[in-house]
Amino acid sequence: MNNGLYALDRSGQSFANYFQIEQVLYDSRSKYQKITVFDTADCGRILMLDDFFNVSTPMEAFYHEPMSHVPLGLAGRRRNVLIIGGGDFGVARHVVKHKDVEQLTLCEMDGQVLDVCREFFPDWAACEKDPRMQVRVGDGAAYLKDCPPHSLDALIIDSTDPFFNASVLVTEDFYNAAYRALQPEGVLIQIVADYYFYKKIWPDVLSVIKGHFPACRPLFFYVPFYVLGSWGLLLAGKNREQLRSEKITREYLDSIGGVETLTPEIVAGAFSLPPYIRNELKDFL
């Protein structure tokens, strides 16, 4: 029986999605943020951070597959991968599907998020048992600075929205460290934002990252329950030839196994910006 509880996921000044809660499983504040987990009748189990929707069980692949399989398909090799954030284990779960990954490090600032997700999202957290994976609790930006030059093949930044608490992840210092740590054919992917409500932050982020990476491009993927159903990611690399959607082939996706939300055509569509976005960002592309 419904208990009359609702969770609002706000965007902008006048818009929100809401979820009708069947049962609250966890609701507490860590050192860094509010963490809430609840079950719904038809949207699965949901994780919210600081009252913003983060992920749900039936829809996780729509976000986690692009964050993992796209950069790994574009990188020159896939031996050493670093995830900054990602405390729900969703991206890591998909990265370990790649047999040629030799080392995966997940660096999450909030250890309480890790513990909560181990308890309430155990299917995702099971990837932690993979011997190739190491979980570290701490500052991902500081960890990146200590990475040896050219040691990373892919850097996946799965943080909270970078224009709020994670703003350190869109700074000159951060991108300088990322460029230094990535090997010449390495690829960075980063969550940014919806374009409609957060269009003002896109030029800011692009202007900073372009000072360090000669190749970068926004991608917009369909993600159910995220604001208007579309969410923006940012790819960056050391040369433009790396960031070609044609490299995500049917053969590549089939080799991973169990891919649910991606096809070569869907990836090409994410690379293809609609005219209103392309025109507004033309100075950065």
CB 206 within 8 A of CB 281: yes
Q: Are 223 and 62 in contact (CB under 8 A)?
A: yes
Cα 151–Cα 155–Cα 157 angle in degrees, nearest 5: 150
Residues β-bridged to residue 108: 137
Helix (H, G, I), strand (E, B) or coil at 152: strand
CA–CA distance, 280 with 231 (Å, rounded to integer) = 17
Phi, then psi, of 152 in degrees rounded to 5: -105, 140
Q: DSSP letter at 285?
A: -
100, 158, 173, 194: which one is catalytic? 158
- 217 forms beta bridges with 235
Q: Is 158 a catalytic residue?
A: yes
Residues annotated as part of the active site: 158
